[in-house]
Structure 1
Amino acid sequence: MIVVYCIDTSALIAAWQERYPPENFPRVWEKFDDLIGSERLLAPTEVLRETSKRSDELHGWLKQRDKMFRELEEVIQIEAANVLATYPRLVGERKLRTSADPFVIALARVESLQIVTDEKPTGNLNRPNIPDVCNGMGMPQTMNLLQLIQAEGWVVG
């Protein structure tokens, strides 16, 4: 079975800045390009908007890969509203709360995608992260970047 991934802002930022900087791991980014080219690595447009606030370099790289981004069509907006109705604290005032999260979850639900995130479950619905919401909604368990690399069988060394 071919898996299609929906990646969130935290995973992209972590990959670019901390785990797999392109100047040190260019092959990882070539592999991401392969996934994007085959429409197997997707994200809602809100993720692109968020990266503009967090990393100019990453944002510039992503802007050149518009095939990756899905517009917030009505069905995704409705699903995101449902997510927020059930988990209103998914987006909040705290610095780490991001407005793309409900759209990442909504896109994954609508298109049956595997979510890739750097977020860890909090176990606290007063401060939920993407994995908490996915678990509560009966969605597949999220994966992190290393799990994506392993699932795809990438060897980049």
Structure 2
Amino acid sequence: MNSQNVTVLVPSDRIAAFYAAFARWLEDGSEMAQEASSVSTSVWTDGDETLAAEVWSKFTVAARKVFDVMIDNPGKHYGSERLAELAGLETMYMLAGMVSWPKKHCERAGKEPLFRTHSLSTGGSNYWMEETTARVFREARDMA
């Protein structure tokens, strides 16, 4: 799959909606997502470090910074704004797009996404990583 940088002007008050719609489009509208959704996945377990290293190698530097925060603090829940800040992102609205491709890479490897999330009634989401997954990806990260 070839990728191309695209610059789009978005009204300031619609940035969150834009990123959410774009993330849904990536997840639901791409050929890769359709392939991944038909594959059954399993949780990350001890012994998956080599596979995790292969998946980790596909993440962008920015995505790795997001996951570094969760790997180093397993089980801790982060709101979108705080996680974006800790990862050095300009805005929390970048998170949805930032975690979309890593999720797909995990699914293509037959594994569940390396992170967990749930939407907050006040807006935004909480993100976290389970202890075993963090341990597996910490070792994978160290292999890279």
TM-score, normalising length from structure 2?
0.30
TM-score, normalising length from structure 1?
0.28
Higher relative contact order (CA 8 A, sep 6+): 2
